[in-house]
Amino acid sequence: MTSRNGTKQFLAQTGVLPVRSGTSVRSLSVLEFSALLAPLIVAAFERESQWLWILLVANIAVLLWQRVFAEIRGRPFTPDGVVTAIACAIVLPSSTPLWQVALSLSFGIVVGQEIFGGRGRNFLNPATVALAFLIFSYPDRTLEVLSPAIGLSVIPGALLLLVGGLISPRVIVGALVGLLLTSTLVDTTQLAANMLPASFIFGLVFFAADPVAAASTNAGRWVYGVFFGTMVALLAGGGAVRVETVVSAALLASVFAPLIDSGILKLNAYQRGRGYG
């Protein structure tokens, strides 16, 4: 009992989110869906009617795979993949072939989430995995250039997720610091181009800051956020930030997130050991 209590106290001090154990998966999905509503509405008004087919196919693909895995595991079907489908659809142009949408979303939800046991047990954002698959498999396929209206529509949802405790302000602030400082070092004349473009705002909130994909320790969140923002600036090369750049940076940051947390925990353990010594 003492060991369990000590573990809980240690996790509380390091700031580990309960979503990793699956205890907040439903509330996570509901809040993320609510946060995506405004960008979804703006995208629906801005795009051609053909884009609605992309939204439909994306949802069918993820929900179909979630149903399959729910049946295999004998668990209740939970349609949390809708969040992944919407986030991907918003950055997909109307000209994207529907079969590429279905294939990319299938890869993202299976490899990025379901093979790990479902939402909350994975360490990659399935939307990021799906978009990265599309980018690297079909290099001639570019993602949508997000409008300033979509960037502004993300802000209410971001505040909702911050208040709900589902994204960390440390990640947000760290990413902004990393982007702006690195942009200044790479090319001072291009700093204005990287001042919170819509693609960066959307990707930061819904891809990089995802509590499942981001670092879990408080100190690790600072490192993770700065790393993400820095990689966005470096990959942009001093130019305008594109969605492809943000997706690549988010995927790279999430791969390193467990290593960042591991380093922070080992550092904390070392400092605790020295304190007792």
Render each residue's pLDDT in the chain as its tens digit; 277 residues: 433 444 444 444 444 444 444 445 677 788 899 999 999 999 999 999 999 999 999 999 999 999 999 999 888 888 889 999 999 999 999 999 999 999 999 999 999 999 988 887 888 999 999 999 999 999 888 999 999 999 999 999 999 999 988 899 999 999 999 998 888 887 655 555 555 689 999 999 999 999 889 999 999 999 999 999 999 999 987 677 899 999 999 999 999 999 999 999 988 887 777 655 5
Cβ(216)–Cβ(169) under 8 Å?
no
What pLDDT, on the 0 to 100 scale, is given for residue 189? 56
What pLDDT, on the 0 to 100 scale, is given for residue 7? 40
CB atoms within 10 A of CB 119: 23
What pLDDT, on the 0 to 100 scale, is given for residue 122? 86
Residue whose entry in the numeric block shows the structure tokens 């923002």: 229
Helix, strand, coil percent content, the chain, rounded in steps of 5: 75, 0, 25
- Distances, alpha carbon 252 to alpha carbons 96, 259, 276, in Å: 24, 12, 37
Q: 60 burial class (0-12, 13-18, 19+ CB within 10 angstroms)?
A: middle
Helix, coil or strand: residue 35? helix
What pLDDT, on the 0 to 100 scale, is given for residue 187? 67
What pLDDT, on the 0 to 100 scale, is given for residue 114? 92
- Distances, alpha carbon 127 to alpha carbons 86, 88, 211, in Å: 9, 6, 13
What pLDDT, on the 0 to 100 scale, is given for residue 188? 55
Nearest partner of 214 among 178, 171, 243, 247, judged by Cα: 171
Nearest partner of 221 among 255, 175, 270, 267, judged by Cα: 175
CB atoms within 10 A of CB 255: 12
